[in-house]
């Protein structure tokens, strides 16, 4: 049906009466304090379609979906389900209306089986848990929906893609007729994305309404019948057929202006005799005492950018921490610029110019109560010390220099960092770390997380600038596109081991995906 009416707008549609959308919202507005997260949003999803909701971080996508799922309450506006006005006051009400949501951070209990997890979401279970009946029921439903799921498997033994399908199954078995998938592909390997889209396609053919929140255009193109774009809390394109619009136009809608391309010509990394980073056969334990990295061997030349690909949780965090002297090595050795990082002491790495952008800035870099200015001098007190005190004027001029150099539009110096939004916190960290032009090694974990497209691009430019200045750059990312675009080489981590090192241009994303999944097809 979407082929017949790709560009229909709402008024035309209701005039002809051809289809009543499964859900429709009008004039939906949501404020958080002074921030207008959703501004007069009008949007609809039909049964039997996949509707992609595009937008940058902070555009209001998740807010809109949480309004539909009853997590938030709209300040203004109407919601209609199958033409009837409804008041979605809680997720329970949303579920009763047939609206289900799969959150980005999956909400399964790892120590429970698939069946136990799903049965928690189902009504009418009675007091006694009848395992056999529940598992049979799940197997039947899964088969009917074209999923392969073992109800008896423990969730913690499942790969992330499988867990996601369990979550979708859970939502469907609870009676959902519309499923909202919040950034479902962000943690998946390409093969898993294909499997997910296969499942979504099957659900579409069974007449379900599906919403996919994403910021990746090629995915929207691959699966969506219609696309809506949010920017700054407003719908700037509503229900358009993605085939009628090219990428540049779509990005233009998302960002509101053109985003410059990265420089295509880059100096080749020198065959440096002294690598910026040499990781020699390290084995590292994780927080739980298990082996998180096993026998990892990796060198980064000065002026080289090496990407780390992998499904998160495969040793990325431990690698980051080991390299910067934050986590002790069980065996092996690490040198930065030929200086051994002998023991787990971050001061050794800092002293030779090893800096990091942590994966969780709030936990690892942000001090509650301290301002942007104060965060700039956390590590490098030497530069601003004046007797026993601190030369805040000097600190202010240093911050000005950093801001000038990085151009990341950092928040005002007096603002408390902990009170900033995620993207603005990240800008503070990036400004401090990437503005340091004395760094010899930059280890960046998910640097563009939470950033808008323009700032992501600026961040990538800054990483390339460090590389061009002769520093080694280790870029840990979940975004294969980013890795392919920036890296000289890509090392793939799987289950704590280096599954392989490849060069972009010599392999395709599926080959990297194969390594990410441990060599399985």
Which residues of this chain interact with other proteins, rule CB under 8 A? 32-37, 57-63, 65-66, 71-72, 104-105, 182, 232-233, 324, 326, 346-347, 350, 356, 358, 360-370, 374, 378-379, 381, 385, 388-390, 421-425, 450, 452
Which of residues 299 and 454 has its CB atom nearest to other proteins in the complex? Answer: 454
Q: From the CB of 423, what's the least distance to other proteins, in Å? A: 5
Which of residues 104 and 249 has its CB atom nearest to other proteins in the complex? Answer: 104
Q: From the CB of 442, what's the least distance to other proteins, in Å? A: 14
Q: Which two tokens stand for residue 483?
A: 């890795």
Handedness of CA 178, 182, 188, 193 (dihedral sign): positive
Which of residues 37 and 169 has its CB atom nearest to other proteins in the complex? Answer: 37
Which of residues 451 and 486 has its CB atom nearest to other proteins in the complex? Answer: 451
| DSSP helix/strand/coil, 515 | helix
Which of residues 135 and 182 has its CB atom nearest to other proteins in the complex? Answer: 182
Q: From the CB of 412, what's the least distance to other proteins, in Å? A: 11
Which of residues 66 and 489 has its CB atom nearest to other proteins in the complex? Answer: 66
Extract the runs of DSSP E, i.e. beta strands, from 215-330.
226-231, 234-240, 277-285, 291-300, 305-309
Q: From the CB of 357, what's the least distance to other proteins, in Å? A: 11
Q: From the CB of 502, what's the least distance to other proteins, in Å? A: 30
Contact in structure between 89 and 97 (CB atoms under 8 Å): no
Q: From the CB of 515, what's the least distance to other proteins, in Å? A: 27
Residue 36 vs residues 32, 41, 148: alpha-carbon distances, Å = 6, 11, 42
Residue 501's nearest CA partner among 484, 485, 519, 489 is 489
* DSSP notation for 181-201: EESTTTT--HHHHHHHHHHHH
Which of residues 12 and 381 has its CB atom nearest to other proteins in the complex? Answer: 381
Q: From the CB of 62, what's the least distance to other proteins, in Å? A: 4
Contact in structure between 155 and 112 (CB atoms under 8 Å): yes
Q: From the CB of 36, what's the least distance to other proteins, in Å? A: 5
The span from the CA of 499 to the CA of 492, in Å, is 5
Beta bridge partners of 239: none
Residue 21's nearest CA partner among 38, 2, 37 is 2
Q: Say if strands 472-476 and 305-309 run parallel, antiparallel, or are unpaired.
A: parallel
Q: From the CB of 485, what's the least distance to other proteins, in Å? A: 23
Contact in structure between 279 and 296 (CB atoms under 8 Å): yes
Q: From the CB of 347, what's the least distance to other proteins, in Å? A: 4
Q: From the CB of 60, what's the least distance to other proteins, in Å? A: 7
The values of phi and psi at residue 351, to 5°, are -65, -30
Which of residues 304 and 452 has its CB atom nearest to other proteins in the complex? Answer: 452
Residue 308's nearest CA partner among 479, 141, 472, 449 is 479
Which of residues 19 and 371 has its CB atom nearest to other proteins in the complex? Answer: 371
> 256: left (phi > 0), else alpha (psi -120 to 50), else beta?
left
Which of residues 157 and 409 has its CB atom nearest to other proteins in the complex? Answer: 409
The span from the CA of 510 to the CA of 282, in Å, is 28
Beta bridge partners of 113: 154
Lateral strand order in the sheet of 99-102: 99-102, 178-182, 209-214, 50-55, 226-231, 234-240
Which of residues 280 and 457 has its CB atom nearest to other proteins in the complex? Answer: 457
Residue 28 vs residues 38, 178, 243: alpha-carbon distances, Å = 7, 19, 28
């Amino acid at each position: 049906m979407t082929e017949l009416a790709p560009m229909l707008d709402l008024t035309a549609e209701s005039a002809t009466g051809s289809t009543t959308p499964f859900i429709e919202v009008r004039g939906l507005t949501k404020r958080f304090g002074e921030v207008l997260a959703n501004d007069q949003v009008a949007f609809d999803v039909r049964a039997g379609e996949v509707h992609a909701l595009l937008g940058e971080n902070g555009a209001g996508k998740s807010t809109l979906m949480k309004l539909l799922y009853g997590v938030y309450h709209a300040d203004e506006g109407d919601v209609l389900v199958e033409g009837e006005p409804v008041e979605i006051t809680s997720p329970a009400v949303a579920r009763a209306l047939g609206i289900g949501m799969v959150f980005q951070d999956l909400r399964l209990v790892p120590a429970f089986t698939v069946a136990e997890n799903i049965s928690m979401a189902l009504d009418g279970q009675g007091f006694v848990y009848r395992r056999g009946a529940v598992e049979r029921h799940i197997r039947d439903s899964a088969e009917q929906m074209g999923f392969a799921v073992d109800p008896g498997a423990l969730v913690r033994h499942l790969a992330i893609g499988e867990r996601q399908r369990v979550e979708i199954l859970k939502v469907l078995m609870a009676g959902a007729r519309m499923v909202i998938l919040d950034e479902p592909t962000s943690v998946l390997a390409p093969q898993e994305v294909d499997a997910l889209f296969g499942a979504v396609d099957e659900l579409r053919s069974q007449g379900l309404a599906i919403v996919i929140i994403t910021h990746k255009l090629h995915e929207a193109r691959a699966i969506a019948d219609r696309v809506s774009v949010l920017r700054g809390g407003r719908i700037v394109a509503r229900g358009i057929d993605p085939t009628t619009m090219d990428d540049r136009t779509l990005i233009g809608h998302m960002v509101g202006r053109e985003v410059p391309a990265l420089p295509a010509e880059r100096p080749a990394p020198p065959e440096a005799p002294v690598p910026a980073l040499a990781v020699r056969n390290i084995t590292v334990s994780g927080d739980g005492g298990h082996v998180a990295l096993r026998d990892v061997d990796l060198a980064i030349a000065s002026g080289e950018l090496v990407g780390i690909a992998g499904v998160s949780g495969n040793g990325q965090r431990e690698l980051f921490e080991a390299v910067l002297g934050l986590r002790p090595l069980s065996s092996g050795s690490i040198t930065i610029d030929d200086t051994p990082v002998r023991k787990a002491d971050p001061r050794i790495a800092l002293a030779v110019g090893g800096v990091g952008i942590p994966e969780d800035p709030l936990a690892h870099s942000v001090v509650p109560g301290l301002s942007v200015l104060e965060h700039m001098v956390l590590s490098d007190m030497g530069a601003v010390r004046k007797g026993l005190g601190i030369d805040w004027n000097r600190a202010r001029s240093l911050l000005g220099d950093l801001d000038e150099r990085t151009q990341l539009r950092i928040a005002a110096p007096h603002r408390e960092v902990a009170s900033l939004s995620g993207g603005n916190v990240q800008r503070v960290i990036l400004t401090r770390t990437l503005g340091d032009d004395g760094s010899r090694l930059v280890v960046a974990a998910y640097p563009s997380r939470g950033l808008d497209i323009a700032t992501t691009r600026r961040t990538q430019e800054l990483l390339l600038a460090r590389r061009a200045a002769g520093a080694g750059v280790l870029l840990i990312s979940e975004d294969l596109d980013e890795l392919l675009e920036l890296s000289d080489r890509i090392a793939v981590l799987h289950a704590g081991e280096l599954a392989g090192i490849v060069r972009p241009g010599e392999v395709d994303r599926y080959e990297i995906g194969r390594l990410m999944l441990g060599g399985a097809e």
